[in-house]
A and B are shown apart, each in its own frame.
Chain A
Amino acid sequence: MRNIRRWGPGLLLVSPSIVLVAVFVYGLIGWNVRVSLSDWRTAVQSSKWAGFAAYRDLNADLAWSENVHHLLGFTVTFIVGALLIGLTLAFLLEKGVRGEGFFRSVYLFPMAISFIAAGVVWRWLMNPAPGDRSTGLNVVFEKLHVGFLANQWYLGLDWGMSAMAMPAIWALSGYVMALYLAGFRGVPEELREAARMDGASEWRVYRHVVFPHLRPVTLSALIILGHISIKVFDLIVAIGGKQLVTQTPAVYMWILIYDARDYAKGAAIATLLLVGISLLIIPYLIYTVRSEQRV
């Protein structure tokens, strides 16, 4: 308490933020968990304790497992696609080309566009109409004599969610590129020169000197893309609406709460999404804090 004059004003300054975060983030998370453990399954509110009934219902729900499969398909394609394309774009730009600023902006622009707007345009591009009704990318393929590439896009049973990931990859690969560019630029030139002087080819310089430096960048990108992917809602709704064929957990949660008025089950999905994201972010935070402490 003797040092309160040193940290007192600082604490006072931060206290509104602490209070607001405590109430509106953690308090509401707690309330959400409470609703998921309650009996509130209809339009009439109820706070009776029901244990894990909603979670058990969810586990038995075939639509839920469908949603999880969709999310997995979407996530894997989205993350791999965005990382590869972002890395490639950064690789192309990192040596410093004429108009680098221009290209960087062009690749970053898609991130500024809302998923709803991007979804509406990509919905047209990915129109699954076959044959003489085809439009969007399908008709482009046909005109270019690669008609066999025309397919059902987001309605495909096996790869539908991977097609759904395309607008997301388009939107976020610029961001990944920016991360990797910073990563590339963070590799000291002396290290590369030293490797070249030791007789390494340019490819080996990349493989053994530069890419290992990019591991932390890849990890950050993975975490960020992962958490965007788990929550994906507006892109799905813009393209596929509420239909089960393209549904993801966030969309199902919306349906359960506002259409079915099954608040406990919807809250259970929200809690599970939070747990999923925490499994990604918390280890990452621990890792970064520890590595900063080591430095």
Chain B
Amino acid sequence: MPRRIDVGRARVSRSTAARAALLVVFALLVLPAAGNARPGTIGGAMATNCQLQVFSWWTGGGEAAGLTKLIGIWNKNNPSCKFKNETVAGGAGTNAKAVLAQRLAANKPPDSFQGHAGAELRDYIKAKQVEPIDFIYKKYGFTKIMPKGLISQITYNGHLYSVPVNIHRANILWYNPKVLKKAKINAAPATWTQFVAALKKAKAAGVIPLALGEQWTQQHLLETVMISTLGPARWTALWTKNGNWSNKGVTLALNRFKTLLSYTNSDAASLTWQDAGKLVADGKAAFNVMGDWQDGYFSGTKAGGNLALKPKVDYGWTAVPGSSGVYDWLSDSFTLPKSAPHRAAAVKWLGFLGGKRAQDTFNPVKGSIPARQDANAKLYGPYLKWALKQWRTDRLAGSLTHGVVAPNAWATDFGTALGLFLQTKDVGKFQSALKTAHDKFT
């Protein structure tokens, strides 16, 4: 047995070689683990490292502008725990929800995250990723000041899990008055028949009749058509165990949707909701169906990336034809994740969000009405004044695309069925796929 062995070209003694090998093994096993130790955990640093991490998808239009204002107020009042804006672009949270799911699965939650009030939060509640915040409602008196109908729709198993910041309406038809004049459309359509007649006139005048964007905006359009055709009571019933997706009302709604698609721009799948709205603003399209965050984009400041248009002059609005008196509502709300890194700050953030100052600062810019009922109407632009009045008397229909009536999984199945329909235009297959999705989730 040689006393010296060959390690490569060097001749070293056996013991040196063995020691070297052991050292390398030890280093390879231990160093990566040491390198990954999180700075916050070693030493248990306290408020000096405090940063309120808030996760949302508010990256464009009036939403970003409103959020910026809130950040300004928060940072001024909480200099020791500054706001860390963690956003993921993609309208309706189409990308953000996936990124958030990854973070929650990895147990690295933000201090608070945006979620639509309603069924969308059920996944997080069932997976025990959010805390019940009844205590926050008690502490800040939210139960007294927010509408009872809203509170009951966001209560799950007797507990509240999020603070709603706003109420949005999804069933709004935006139009360009100058284009309507050019196409000799005398008034914004109020019924289905008037709508189709107006679209035909717009087409004859050489503009895009109905501007449309990527797939989620098409699902948004479909939901407004269904609500207009079925009415709020039958719409709400669809999402319960006894919901009948095979009935003629649904078939009619799907066929109407198919008709509308024939009046839209061929490149819809390449446009965001802002792009589609801009087509109307620029006079290239007559109509666009979108939620009232479109108002924030139309009338907001240019510095905030918006169009700075004049309401009722450069753009007009009405309820989607057939749904006047129905509020297709959705609500952006914020939660308290389990194991939030800075829980005290997160609780304070939620209290701040539900307060009058935050809601009256954020909502006029965002293009929504506050969830609180004590809004200072003077702060709100023409569209929102109209919306505030409608909210008091309209019947409620929860949005599908924005997480009120169906949890994410069901909405995803709906979206998949819609994607297939967009390719085949087969109403029968679409309807049976929707029925299958209903049976799967109820």
Contact = CB atoms under 8 A, between A and B. Distances in A.
Interface of A: 5-6, 8-9, 12-13, 15-17, 42-44, 62-63, 66, 123, 127-130, 133, 152, 154-155, 157, 240-247, 254-262
Contact of A152 (B215, B267, B419): B267
Interface in B398-420: 408-409, 411-413, 415-416, 419-420
B197 interface: no
Contacts of B20: 9
A182 to B, nearest CB: 29
Enumerate the 7 nearest inter-chain pairs by beta-carbon distance, A residue then B residue, closest first: A244-B419, A258-B98, A16-B28, A260-B412, A243-B215, A128-B267, A43-B123
Contacts, number: 115
B126 A245 contact: no
Contacts of A8: 21
B97 A133 contact: no
A247 B418 CA distance: 13
Contact of B284 (A17, A133, A246, A247): A133
A245 B419 contact: yes
Given A128-B267, A255-B412, A9 B423 contact: no
Q: Say what secondary structure dominates the interface of chain B.
A: helix
B126 A42 contact: yes
Contacts of A5: 1, 5, 14
B214 A261 contact: no
Contacts of A15: 25
Interface in B20-43: 20-22, 24-25, 28-29
A270 to B, nearest CB: 15
Given A152-B266, A241-B214, A259-B98, A12 B7 contact: no
Interface in B123-140: 123-124, 126-127
B353 to A, nearest CB: 25
Contact of A261 (B17, B18, B215, B408): B408
B25 A12 contact: yes
B102 interface: yes
B285 to A, nearest CB: 10
Given A66-B420, A128-B267, 8 more contacts: A5-B5, A9-B17, A9-B21, A42-B126, A66-B419, A154-B270, A241-B214, A259-B98
Interface of B: 1, 5, 7, 14, 17-18, 20-22, 24-25, 28-29, 90, 94-95, 97-99, 101-102, 123-124, 126-127, 214-215, 265-267, 269-270, 284, 408-409, 411-413, 415-416, 419-420, 422-423, 433
A127 B270 contact: yes
Contact of B423 (A16, A157, A241): A157
Given A43-B126, A241-B94, A245-B422, A260 B408 contact: yes
Nearest to A243: B215
Q: Is the interface of A mostly helix, strand, loop or mixed?
A: helix
B98 A240 contact: no
A259 B408 contact: yes
A155 B124 CA distance: 35
Given A241-B94, A260-B408, A63 B420 contact: yes
Nearest to A237: B95
A256 B420 CA distance: 16
Contacts of A13: 21, 24-25
Contact of A260 (B21, B22, B214, B413): B413
A121 to B, nearest CB: 14
A129 B264 CA distance: 12
A153 to B, nearest CB: 9
B25 A245 contact: no
A16 B29 contact: yes
B14 A43 contact: no
Nearest to A10: B21
Given A259-B97, A259-B412, A260-B412, A155 B267 contact: yes
A12 B21 contact: yes
Given A66-B423, A244-B419, A128 B14 contact: no
Nearest to B94: A242
Contacts of B419: 63, 66, 243-245, 247
A97 to B, nearest CB: 40
22 contacts: A9-B5, A12-B21, A12-B25, A42-B123, A42-B126, A43-B123, A44-B127, A66-B423, A155-B270, A241-B95, A241-B215, A242-B94, A242-B95, A243-B419, A244-B215, A244-B420, A245-B423, A257-B101, A259-B409, A261-B123, A261-B408, A261-B409
Contacts of A17: 28
B238 to A, nearest CB: 19
A158 to B, nearest CB: 11
A5 B266 CA distance: 72
B97 A129 contact: no
A13 B433 CA distance: 57
Contacts of A245: 215, 269, 419, 422-423
